[in-house]
Structure 1
Amino acid sequence: MRVCLALVAAGVLSGCSDFEVCEPVATSSLSAMPERLSGTGLFTDSSMTVLADDVRAFAPQFPLWTDGATKRRWIRLPPGGRIDTRDMDSWQFPEGTQLWKEFTRDGVRVETRLLEKFGPRPEDWRALAYVWLPDQRDAVAAPDGQDNAVGTPHDVPSAANCFGCHGGRESRVLGFSAIQLSYDAPPDLLDLEDLRVAGTLSRPPAIGFTVPGNDVERAALGYLHANCAHCHNQKRPDSDGERCFDPQNSLDFWLPVDRLGSPRDTPTYGAGTLAFKPGKPDKSNMIERVSKRESGWSMPPLGTEQVDAEAVALLRRWIAEMDD
């Protein structure tokens, strides 16, 4: 509470309710999902290694930091399904869409998360993590999450906490987007051009989108977009329930496709001294927050127990080179 009050006084937060609490997931939603990963349709063989024919792999160009875990990601659209891209910043996916993300720590396959669109409304998504069995032959649903899963330091989130991140944007899908797929991906991974050619997008852009700036600026803006913008943005869906990682401040690290003319055109630079002081990384709140792992203080607050040293160095350089 002491930290929370200090943040309110500094203008970082507007209230001290526990924003690390999310609404419980309805039992009916959880019971509608398979008890084992093998029942989700991701793999087609008993060894859980051969992907289904209609499942495609992808990787966001700006990944989310999860303590160095190796991750693989896949998507399946329903037959004939197209993504509604009228709002290029918030894609809407057809009912029946499934996305999976697999986490490996220390060479051990630990968990695979499933995000599934079950209805027509933007909010009709359910999420569940599956923890791999020691023999790696299947993974079992873990609606309450699990700490130090499969003998690794990796913590699996509860079904409720999945929406601590995914609930921050109307699309609910974070890594499969116009910004994240606007790069020349390897042949075995989907990118924006693949989707355009395949006719998967309702309103495909003529070309992809480029994050502005030099190498340091682009990397910093991309890191903040991937790791911070699902909470820190000004278009969060309304909620009558718990705050669920809603910081309730004016920061906005999202990269809208129509504000990519220059780094200063992006909402990130509107953060002002609330997040960083140009040219002064040691006096920037952002650097202090990403350099620690302390409950109620550290950023990002979910999915990580280790400081991302490379990201800290990147953000320090970005702020140091920033003009007033």
Structure 2
Amino acid sequence: MSAFVRSLPWRVLMVFVAAASLVACNDFTECAPVDAAVAALPERLSDTGLFADSSMTVPGEDVKAFAPQFPLWSDGATKRRWIRLPAGTRIDTRDMDHWQFPEGTRLWKEFTRDGVRVETRLLEKAGPHPEDWRAVAYVWLPDGSDAVATPAGQRNANGTPHDVPSASDCFGCHGGTPSRVLGFSAIQLSYDAPADSLDLDDLVASDLLTAPPAARFTVPGNDVERAALGYLHANCGHCHNQQRPESDGPRCYEPRNSLDFRLRVGRLGSPGETPTYRSAKGDDFEPGRPDDSKMVKRISKREEGWSMPLLGTEVVDADGVALLRRWISEMKRE
């Protein structure tokens, strides 16, 4: 972002971003103007309720850390995540695949790249309806004293290769599921999380779910199959799934195909029962033939408008490629 743009007052900047978002599009991107509701978010991260004091390191007492068992690849960035539910509320889990969060819920995700704390993203439920979410990224000041809302995003933030997304880009991913929340779900939390992080058992024990499940949900298959299915769920399922909510306006990415990489709690009996196998086997991947699989080809390169994932990454995930190659290589041909 230019020095001129950074110097603009907060609400003037919001108008600038809304206008710029309309012309920053390509064949794969329909950038929605930044909603005016984003302007109501605090200008400083220190005012969002994440941290307990001015140290900007210790989360508030009502802020809880969590970590999904299948993380999203973000070009090697280290991430920390937190959630805060309004006091006395619970998550609506009647649809176990698509949790609905109470109004006032806030989630934060912090990115550190090459040892530099670069940004912290805020996602807030601003109203009673499933689509009533708003989001913005806060870019950290060089001295680490605070982070400032940056609705226009920022390339190569704080001297790193990390690109901070604009507020208009956030729902290119988050708009792809009825929940709008990624990484905090029944499947993602069904494991023994670190001691300082929430998992599904903690949520049940704390009576934070309206319809608590009787047990955790286990991704089927051997270690390689589970890891591959989880990887695709986390990195591809928010765009490639057949339960994408309808939208009354443009989104930053609208895939139009039959692929479905999102895991479902009711389709975990075997690997072959998952939407991934049902929708992509023989089309996106060829059992036993990773070199002939479109999936492997598209995640092994970074070519604008063609490589996958299309959004949020500029660096090939070598470990992810190796995992999917092994998974396809070991898959039995019919």
Question: Which TM bucket (shorter chain)?
Answer: over 0.9
Gaps of 5+ in 1: 1-16
- When the two structures are aligned, how many residues end up with a matched partner? 307
**1:71-150 matches, cutoff 5 A:** 71-150=79-158
> For 1:22 and 1:203, how far apart are their aligned partners in 2?
36
Q: Following TM superposition, by how much is the alpha carbon of 1:25 offset from its aligned partner in structure 2, in angstroms?
A: 1.4
Residue number in structure 2 paired with 1:300? 309
Opposite residue 324 of structure 2, the aligned amino acid is L
> After the TM superposition, which residues 108-257 of structure 1 pair with which residues of structure 2 at under 5 Å, given as runs?
108-257=116-265
**Alignment partner, residue 29 of structure 2:** 20
Q: Which of 324, 327, 334 pairs up with 1:318?
A: 327
Native 8 Å contact 1:19 1:242 kept in 2: no
Question: Are the counterparts in 2 of residues 103 and 109 from structure 1 also a CA contact under 8 Å?
Answer: yes
Q: Check if 1:68 corresponds to 2:76.
A: yes
Q: After TM superposition, which residue ranges in structure 1, 4 or more long, deviate above 4 angstroms? A: none
SS at match of 1:30: helix
Deviations 1:39-60 (A, max 9, x none): 1010122221121110000000
Relative to structure 1, the CA distance from residue 29 to residue 148 in structure 2 (aligned partners, 3 Å threshold; closer, same or farther) is: same
Deviation at 1:272, TM superposition (A): 2.6
Distance in 2, matches of 1:21 and 1:140, equals 26
In structure 1, what is the Cα distance between the partners aligned to 2:30 and 2:302? Answer: 18
Question: Can you list the C-alpha shifts for 1:181-234, whole angstroms capped at 9, x where unaligned?
Answer: 000112110000000000000000010000000000000000000000000000
Q: CA RMSD in A?
A: 0.9
| Cα distance change on mapping 1:33 and 1:170 into 2, 3 Å | same
Question: 1:80 & 1:20 partners in 2: Cα distance?
Answer: 39
SS in 2 for 1:273: coil
Q: Which residue is 1:9 aligned to?
A: none
Deviation of 1:283 (Å)? 0.4
Shift of residue 32 of structure 1?
0.6
Q: Is the 8 A contact 2:175 2:251 kept in 1?
A: no
Secondary structure at the aligned position of 2:255 is classed as coil
Alignment-derived partner of residue 8 in structure 2: none
- Cα contact 2:300–2:321 (8 A) shared by 1: yes
TM-score by length of 2: 0.90
Q: CA deviation at 1:20?
A: 1.8
What amino acid sits opposite 1:293 in the alignment? R
Shift of 1:243: 4.7
Please tell me the residue identity of whatever aligns with 2:39.
S
Listed one character per residue, the Cα deviations across residues 88-118 of structure 1 (whole Å, up to 9, x for unaligned) are 0000000000000000011110000000001
- Kindly state the Cα deviation for residue 244 of structure 1 after the two structures are TM-superposed: 2.4
Residue 247 of structure 1: how far off its partner (Å): 1.1
Match of 1:274, SS state, is coil
Instruction: Supply the distance in 2 between the matched residues of 1:103 and 1:132 (Cα, whole angstroms).
Output: 10
Percent sequence identity is 75
> Secondary structure, in 3 states, of the residue corresponding to 2:198?
coil
Quote the residue 2:17 is aligned against.
Answer: none
**Do 1:75 and 1:97's aligned partners in 2 also have CA atoms closer than 8 Å?**
yes
The one-letter amino acid of 2:270's match is S
Provide the TM-score with structure 1 as the length reference.
0.93
- Could you say what secondary structure the match of 2:227 adopts? helix
Deviation for aligned residue 1:21: 2.4
> Partner residue of 1:274?
283
Verify the 8 A CA contact 1:212 1:261 in the aligned structure 2. yes
Choose 232-241 or 304-313, whichever is displaced more: 232-241
Q: Distance in 2 between matches of 1:274 and 1:146?
A: 37
Distance 1:94 1:72, change over 3 A: same
Match of 2:55 in 1: 47
For 1:272 and 1:239, the matched residues in 2 are separated by 29
Between 127-136 and 273-282, the greater mean CA deviation after superposition: 273-282
